[in-house]
Amino acid sequence: MDEGDLAIKVKMLFFGPLAESMGQREIEVALLQGSSTRDLIDRFRLTTMLESGLRVAINGVIGADLDASLSDASEIAFLPPVSGG
């Protein structure tokens, strides 16, 4: 097994104020196979935002299991809490 078999690439999408604070709307990240969305949240220090209402969609599914292993080419969208007005 070569090193290429151990890595996957996922796309992180940021919306609203989070896109501004991250400085971009989209980041492609290489991860070890078996990594989860929770690993990404820890790596990018988004835990506090998650606790204050940040929603996460994995491949278009809001509320998907954050601890499930991601697949190559997965898309993880970070959605700010919807504010009423």
**What residues form DSSP beta bridges with 12?**
27, 76
Percentage of the chain exceeding pLDDT 90: 78
Residue 43 has a pLDDT of 95
Could you tell me the domains of the chain?
Answer: 3-79 (3.10.20.30)
Question: What are the tens digits of pLDDT across the range 26-43?
Answer: 999 999 999 999 999 999
pLDDT band at 4; cut points 50, 70, 90: low
pLDDT band at 13; cut points 50, 70, 90: very high
d(CA 73, CA 4): 14
In the predicted model, what is the mean pLDDT of the chain?
A: 91
d(CA 17, CA 69): 27
Please return the burial class of 60, using the count of CB atoms within 10 Å of its CB with bins 0-12, 13-18 and 19+. exposed
